[in-house]
């Protein structure tokens, strides 16, 4: 059922404009376009603006240079952005409307200027807006991206007319058998969870409840007292493991938080980090959980340098054999500050299921709380499956093999493998396979999609979630996050990721109906690319668009910029019919990179490769380009071909 990029029928829901080259009509909903116009004042090169379904800005990608008067500190640079350009995201008062809630620093850039990721919470009238977060990236003192789903024109009452006790009573009446653990006044805008920023916002009571071993947040309108349908699931908070077995269900009448605490108090701890606890008799599931914790922790730590699910060494708690959990496994939010805990029914502990739950914990620890349905919930389940694929190398694309349920899902051949199959409000465990199938295609899909392998793809997806996800994330924003993560990895030369690999990501997700593809594989999807058929990752020369021969025509930048060298060699290899590898090409002729110079009366093609002893450079010519298809060439017609002399 795979649909490949060249036949995808879905258009990207994001409208992207190039701020520095667009007509005046490109200005957005910011009053009179004044803030958007000011991008020109601070931009170095092109700046790309990404818009959501209703035309509002959800991301800015480019380089913005703060003036010399701004203190060379990441937070000061962030404050400068919101003071000067916050209107792009509907922010009028930078001090009142956004609050810094997380900061992650990297080593300073070459000039000693700061490099960091800053996460801001959007607020209005002192109230937190649920899921509304902005991630701002600073690299060597430059702002390189700002993204997030935040509502516009937030107008809510200054105070509630419904009291906390009234809101709690409303929830309790609808949630029989639940217990309430707290309530807060917040602002809710459901539209931002579905890529809409102009839906009306409401002042609501967020009431946290628990029933059995499940926890959720229900919302009550703070003026009308209406209980809303929108619901959020609960979020939890050197290797440190704890495994306990649970032999009995909670006593009659003990539910919610009380049941969770009862299990914690009455479960029998059978393992700690030192091993089996003397005098206990671990069950088979407990022993498997202890092993799976080690497998998951060790893989994440050794691969990404990340300490447990929160990056700070949180204890990994697991409770097995629980009668409260039947044919299931799930994560419970932190109770009493003792850490997140995983609960497994009998026969439900495997490496991939535990890694899947770990993936939930990872996202929740990053502040991504999923609703019960919708794309944020779907993405949560997809990322759980992706984490499982990383850890379970023997069967990466199957979930649940070896459990009491057997195989639960497959990312390789799922029932839902395209957005055409998406069910709005459907079960996230079924909708999730659309996104996870895209990951499969990127990693190990058919050769025409140019899969990039597990090493590159896992670092791309981990970096996107760790550094760019925030709050209400849907499939389209996840793709933008992957794009930003790819550009960051390329600039830092991490994992050997190339613009070609980034293009493969765009094409893999386009194959499942998320966004558009990248015909020339230059890391810019076709509907954003100023030259969609010409490899041009700098997006710096619109004149290239007139060149007729598609992605085989590379600019001379390929031979002069180290960023592009691998891409040049790869292209020459493929044009010459060779088989590309990281170190060499099977055919010497195919190692060349094709560089075009367009003159008024001739087209001259040159290419180069490294002599094997690496002592000098030689030039050769890709005459294969002029060969007819019958002799193995692409049959490109050249009006005049002049062989240069040296």
CA terminus-to-terminus distance, the chain: 53
Residues 284 and 390 occupy one common structural domain: yes
Instruction: Output the six-digit token pair for 13.
Output: 């829901």
* Residue 475 CA: distances (Å) to CA of 41, 53, 445: 32, 12, 20
Closest by Cα among 290, 280, 278, 277 to 243: 290
Greatest CA separation found in the chain? 91
Residues 329 and 402 occupy one common structural domain: yes
In this structure, is the dihedral angle defined by the CA atoms of residues 517, 521, 527 and 531, taken in order, positive or negative?
A: negative
List pLDDT tens digits, range 607-616: 333 323 222 2
> Which phi-psi region, left, alpha or beta, contains residue 90 (left: φ > 0; alpha: ψ -120 to 50)?
left
Closest by Cα among 194, 188, 192, 179 to 227: 188
Contact 529, 517 (CB under 8 A): no
Residues 293 and 438 occupy one common structural domain: yes
| CB-CB neighbours of 179 under 10 Å | 18
pLDDT computed for residue 159 by the predictor: 84
Q: Is residue 527 part of a domain?
A: no
pLDDT computed for residue 54 by the predictor: 77
Instruction: Output the six-digit token pair for 567.
Output: 């891409």
Domain count, the chain: 4
pLDDT computed for residue 637 by the predictor: 31
Cα 398 from Cα 577, distance rounded (Å) = 35
At residue 289's C-alpha, the angle toward residues 285 and 290, to 5°, is: 120
Q: Is residue 519 part of a domain?
A: no
Residues 426 and 319 occupy one common structural domain: yes
Residues 84 and 198 occupy one common structural domain: no
Alpha helical stretches, state H, 13-118? 34-42, 74-85, 94-97
Residues 227 and 311 occupy one common structural domain: no
pLDDT computed for residue 604 by the predictor: 29
Residues 141 and 74 occupy one common structural domain: yes
Residues 217 and 264 occupy one common structural domain: no
79 lies in which domain range?
5-147
| CB-CB neighbours of 174 under 10 Å | 12
* Residue 385 CA: distances (Å) to CA of 354, 357, 377, 390, 405: 10, 9, 13, 9, 16
Quickly tell me which residue has 């500050």 as its tokens: 337
Chain-centroid distance of CA 506 in Å reads 13
- In 508-573, where do the E strands start and end? none
Residues 73 and 202 occupy one common structural domain: no
How much is the pTM?
A: 0.66
> Could you report the average pLDDT of every consecutive run of 10 residues in the chain (646 residues)?
29 26 33 64 84 83 91 93 92 89 81 87 90 90 89 84 94 86 89 78 90 76 93 64 88 78 86 92 95 93 89 89 82 59 90 94 84 89 96 94 94 96 94 97 93 95 92 90 92 87 96 93 87 76 45 32 41 46 38 30 29 27 32 33 31
Cα 515 from Cα 528, distance rounded (Å) = 11
Residues 184 and 327 occupy one common structural domain: no
Exposure string of 600-638, with b = 16+ CB inside 10 Å and e = fewer, is eeebbbbbbbeeeeeeeeeeebbebbeeeeeeebeebee
Quickly tell me which residue has 């991630």 as its tokens: 135
* Residue 406 CA: distances (Å) to CA of 51, 350, 399, 642: 42, 10, 8, 65
Quickly tell me which residue has 């697991």 as its tokens: 318
Closest by Cα among 179, 181, 229, 180 to 204: 229
pLDDT computed for residue 261 by the predictor: 77
Among residues 422, 453, 484, the one where a domain terminates is 453
Q: How many helices (H) and strands (E) does the chain have?
A: 14, 22
Contact 108, 114 (CB under 8 A): yes
pLDDT computed for residue 190 by the predictor: 87
* Side-by-side strand order, sheet with 341-344: 275-276, 268-272, 241-245, 316-320, 341-344, 329-332
Q: Is residue 641 part of a domain?
A: no
Quickly tell me which residue has 């789903």 as its tokens: 149
* Residue 251 CA: distances (Å) to CA of 254, 260, 321, 422, 441: 6, 11, 16, 41, 48
Contact 572, 579 (CB under 8 A): no
Residues 75 and 174 occupy one common structural domain: no
Among residues 233, 264, 283, the one where a domain terminates is 233
Closest by Cα among 217, 249, 13, 256 to 128: 217
Spell out the SS3 assignment of 252-281.
Answer: CCCCHHHHHHHHHHHCEEEEECCEECCCCC
Contact 238, 301 (CB under 8 A): no
Closest by Cα among 299, 310, 311 to 364: 310
pLDDT computed for residue 95 by the predictor: 87
Among residues 414, 438, 453, the one where a domain terminates is 453
Contact 349, 288 (CB under 8 A): yes
pLDDT computed for residue 112 by the predictor: 82
Residues 291 and 410 occupy one common structural domain: yes
Cα 116 from Cα 103, distance rounded (Å) = 7
pLDDT computed for residue 486 by the predictor: 94
pLDDT computed for residue 608 by the predictor: 31
Contact 155, 201 (CB under 8 A): yes
* Residue 613 CA: distances (Å) to CA of 280, 576, 621, 631: 65, 22, 20, 32
pLDDT computed for residue 407 by the predictor: 95
SS3 assignment, position 84: helix
pLDDT computed for residue 633 by the predictor: 33
């Amino acid at each position: 059922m795979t649909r490949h990029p060249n036949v995808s029928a879905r258009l990207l829901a994001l409208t992207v404009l190039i701020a520095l080259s667009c007509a005046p009509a490109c200005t957005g909903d910011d009053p009179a376009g004044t803030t958007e116009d000011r991008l020109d004042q601070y931009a170095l090169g092109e700046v790309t603006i990404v818009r959501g379904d209703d035309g509002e800005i959800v991301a800015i990608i480019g380089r913005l240079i703060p003036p010399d008067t701004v203190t060379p500190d990441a937070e000061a640079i962030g404050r400068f952005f919101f003071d000067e350009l916050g209107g792009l995201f509907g922010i009028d008062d930078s001090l009142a409307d956004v609050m810094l809630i997380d900061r992650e620093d990297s080593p300073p850039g070459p000039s000693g200027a700061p490099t960091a990721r800053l996460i801001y919470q959007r607020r209005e009238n002192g109230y937190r807006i649920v899921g509304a977060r902005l991630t701002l990236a600073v690299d060597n003192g430059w702002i390189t991206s700002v993204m997030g789903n935040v509502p516009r024109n937030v107008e809510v009452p200054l105070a509630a007319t419904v009291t906390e006790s009234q809101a709690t009573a409303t929830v309790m009446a609808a949630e029989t058998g639940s217990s309430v653990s707290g309530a807060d006044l917040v602002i809710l805008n459901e539209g931002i969870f579905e890529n809409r920023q102009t839906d009306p916002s409401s002042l609501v009571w967020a009431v946290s409840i628990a029933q059995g071993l499940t926890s959720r947040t229900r919302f009550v309108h703070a003026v009308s007292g209406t209980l809303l349908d929108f619901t959020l699931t609960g979020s939890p908070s050197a290797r440190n493991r704890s495994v306990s077995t649970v032999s009995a269900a909670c006593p009659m009448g003990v539910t919610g938080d009380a049941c969770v605490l009862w299990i914690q108090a009455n479960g029998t701890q059978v393992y700690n980090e030192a091993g089996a606890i003397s005098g206990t008799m671990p069950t088979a599931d407990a022993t498997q959980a202890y092993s799976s914790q080690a497998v998951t922790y060790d893989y994440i730590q050794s691969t990404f340098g990340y300490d447990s699910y929160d990056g700070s060494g949180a204890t990994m708690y697991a409770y097995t054999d629980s009668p409260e959990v039947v044919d299931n496994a799930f994560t419970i939010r932190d109770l009493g500050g003792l850490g997140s805990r995983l609960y497994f029914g009998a026969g439900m502990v495997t490496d991939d299921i535990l890694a899947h739950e770990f993936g939930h914990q990872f996202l929740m620890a990053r502040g991504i709380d999923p609703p019960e349905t919708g794309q944020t919930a779907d993405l949560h389940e997809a990322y759980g499956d992706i984490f499982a694929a990383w850890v379970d190398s023997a069967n990466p694309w199957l979930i649940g093999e070896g459990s009491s349920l057997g195989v639960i899902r497959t990312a390789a051949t799922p029932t839902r493998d395209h957005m055409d199959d998406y069910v709005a409000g459907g079960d996230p465990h079924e909708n999730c396979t659309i996104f996870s199938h895209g990951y499969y295609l990127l990693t190990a899909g058919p050769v025409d999609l140019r899969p990039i392998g597990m090493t590159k793809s896992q670092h791309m997806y981990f970096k996107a979630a760790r550094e760019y996800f925030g709050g209400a994330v849907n499939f389209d924003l996840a793709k933008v996050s992957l794009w930003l993560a790819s550009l960051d990895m390329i600039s830092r030369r991490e994992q050997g990721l190339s613009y070609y690999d980034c293009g493969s990501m765009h094409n893999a997700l386009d194959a499942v109906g998320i966004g558009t593809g990248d015909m020339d594989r230059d890391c810019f999807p076709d509907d954003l690319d100023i030259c969609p058929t010409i490899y041009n990752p700098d997006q710096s020369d619109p004149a290239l668009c007139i060149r007729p021969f598609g992605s085989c025509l590379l600019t001379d930048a390929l031979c002069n910029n180290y960023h592009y060298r691998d891409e040049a060699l790869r292209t020459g290899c493929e044009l010459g019919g060779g088989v590309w590898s990281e170190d060499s090409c099977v055919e010497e002729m195919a190692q060349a990179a094709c560089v075009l110079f367009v003159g008024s009366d001739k087209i001259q093609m040159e290419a180069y490769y490294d002599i094997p002893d690496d002592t000098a450079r030689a030039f050769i010519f890709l005459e294969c380009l002029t060969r007819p298809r019958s002799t193995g060439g692409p049959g490109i017609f050249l009006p005049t071909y002049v062989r240069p002399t040296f």
